[in-house]
Structures are given as structure tokens and as C-alpha cells.
Amino acid sequence: MAGIINATPVADPQQYKNVFVFLETREDKLLRPALEMIGVGKTIANKVNEKLYCIILGSDLKDMADEAVSYGCDVVLGAESPDLKTFRTMPYSHIVSNFVKSEKPNIFLIPATRNGRDLASRIAVSCQAGVTADCTEIDIETDTRILLANRPTYGESMLAEILCKRHRPQMATARPGIFPIPEKLKSPKGEIRINKVKIDKSLLKKEILEFRKKEAIDLTAAKVIVAGGMGLGKPEGFKMLGDLSNEIGGVIGATRPTADMGWITRDHQVGQTGQTVRPRFYLAAGISGKIQHIMGMKNSETILSINNDPQAEIFKYSDYVIVDDVYKVVPALLEEIRKYKKEHVGIAVENRESS
């Protein structure tokens, strides 16, 4: 749609108003990053007394639109067609660009998921605007309504603050798992505008032959993660961690090389090229603490690490440290946890009954 065009500064930024977010879906259901976008978008919109618009595409929008409103969306802009049930670049970028061109938002946020990134840069080009990628902090300067988009860089050691002063909309993609999901409103009020659309055949040439769903392990929502690294030495190590994890209601995390080795599936991987997690408790067993792993888990509330090397990097990021062999520590820890639970489960029940 774009053609060879340059990024043209807008004549009058005052004509651009409100905050837009794109809500990612699967099979006509909102994904978790969609709710995160509503949260961060609403915060920004409130700061400058503007409205939050949510863009939703799909084949049946009613429930998703209601859900978006219940989380704080002021206006739902929907496009509905059987051809939009599954994300496809061409029809999605075409429709979303048109929404942006006609409604002229000041800000447009898109999740930095794979489909989100697939879309974001095309919209930016088509709308002749700039886009900041993969932000972990997003704010707005209230007097100028300039978006302050911050993204980690140089192995997550630095945060770059990136602005688009003269172009509109000011676009950014937001890293999944970072922005909190907002509370549902008690009495939500929102306007729902759903357009039934007909998609031009020329945009529907991509054929989706198949979707092989992975057993969904959402580490980003986990409260407790028990993660293993190469220090486990063999695939069976993950079975041992599984026993511990089951006992404390956790899910298994892993470093990249353990997934490369096939000891565990890729969806357990934490880090730069895996998931970014922030559980209440992160246990790192036999993990060295290389930066690419650290960046995925350093915002965990409490971190316990087990490593037989007293100099291990991971210890710098740990609240609790055990210098010993994982094969000694993990079974012993499991035993202590069972013991503690056995001694206290009675008390917990008694307390509940007496209150």
C-alpha cells in the first residue's frame, strides 16, 4: 500500500488526539498482551485526559469488545469479517492503517509479540511515522503530549529513551510480560463501534495451511518458577526439578542451551530469546547467570540460586544462595518443604476453622 514514500512530519500535532492500542487475538479471544496494552494505554490516556481506543479485528467481536470495555477501554474500533479470524499481515495492516489515517491518534501502542512486530513496522511506514521497538517503560510528557518510549539496549544494561517529536502517531511496541493487567471496572462504560467489512481478494493470498498449537506454558503468568540450566548435566535433572516444582505449585523454566540440547521444550526458555518473567519466586538450579538469561528473570521478586561454583554470576542477582551440587540440594530442599508443609497444614486448617 505504501510505495516508496518518506517519513513526513505532520503539519499540526494538535490535530492528533487520543491513545490507540492494538489488541492481539487468537480464535476471537483476547490474548494476555492485549490486556497489558489496555493497562498501559489507559495510564497514558488518563495523564493527558484523553480517550483510550482499542482496535480489534476478528470474525466475532462482541465478547472481546465487552471484555476490552470491562478493563477500561473507552472506544472499541472493530473490524469484523470471517476473513479476519486469524491474523494475516496484509488485511490486518491495511485495515489498521486505515483506522489510524482516519482517526488520527496521537499515540499508537502495539504489543511486541511476533504478530505485533509483524504489523507495527508496516503501519508506521504506511502512516509515515516512527516506531520505537520493544519498550519496557512508556510514559507521556503531559504539557507537550510527547511519548517517552524507553527500550533496553546493549544487553539490557542501558535504557534508551526514544522520542518521535514531529511525526504522528507516535508509535511504540511494548514488551509482553512487563505491563500489569488492569483491574476490571465495577461499572464499565465504553462505546463499541464494530464495522462489518469486506476484504479485497488481493489481500487474502496468504493461505494458512495449518496451526500446530504448543501445549501452552505461560511462564509470564507464573507465580513460582523452578528453572534449570546446564548444571543439571542431563535431561533427568528436569524430572527432579519437576517434583520440587509440583510441591510448591510452580512451573518449570530453563536456560537456552538446555532447550537447544532437547532436555526440555523451547516454551520453557527464559531470557532474551525466550520469555520475560517476573514471578514471586524464581529458583535457579545449575544456571550460570549469563546476561541473556538474567534479562529474562531479573525482575522476579525473590530469587534463590543453587550452583556449585562459589563465583557463579547468578549469585549477584540472588536473594538466597546455596553453594553446592544441585543433586544434593534439590532433594534435601524438597524434603524440608514437605516436612514444613506437613507440620503447618494442620495449623492452617485449624486457623481457618476457628476464625
Contacts to ligand FAD from residues 108-127, by CB under 6 A: none
Whichever of 60 and 309 has its CB closer to ligand FAD, that residue is: 309
Q: Which residues does residue 253 pair with via DSSP β-bridges, in sequence order? A: 227
Closest by CA position to 133, among listed 105, 106, 162: 162
Q: Is 93 in the site for other proteins (CB under 8 A)?
A: yes
Contacts to ligand FAD from residues 241-270, by CB under 6 A: 255-258, 269-270
Q: Residue 55 and residue 78: Cα distance in Å, rounded?
A: 6
Q: Residue 142 and residue 316: Cα distance in Å, rounded?
A: 38
Q: Is 2 in the site for other proteins (CB under 8 A)?
A: yes
> Can you say how many angstroms the Cα of residue 137 is from the centroid of all Cα atoms in its chain?
13
Candidate ranges 35-43, 51-59, 99-107, 323-331; the one touching other proteins (CB under 8 A): 323-331
Whichever of 190 and 279 has its CB closer to other proteins, that residue is: 279
Closest by CA position to 167, among listed 183, 146, 187: 146
Closest by CA position to 218, among listed 251, 246, 242: 251
Contacts to ligand FAD from residues 38-97, by CB under 6 A: none
Place of cell 544462595: 321
Q: Is 332 in the site for ligand FAD (CB under 6 A)?
A: no
Q: Is 276 in the site for ligand FAD (CB under 6 A)?
A: no
For ligand FAD, the binding residue among 162, 163, 192, 203 (CB under 6 A) is 162
Nearest 10 degrees: CA dihedral of 302, 303, 304, 307? Answer: -170
Q: Which does 301 bind (CB under 5 to 8 A by kind): ligand FAD, other proteins, none?
A: other proteins
Q: Residue 317 and residue 155: Cα distance in Å, rounded?
A: 16
Which residues contact ligand FAD by CB under 6 A? 130-133, 151, 153, 160, 162, 229-231, 255-258, 269-274, 286-288, 290, 292-293, 296, 306-309, 312, 325-326
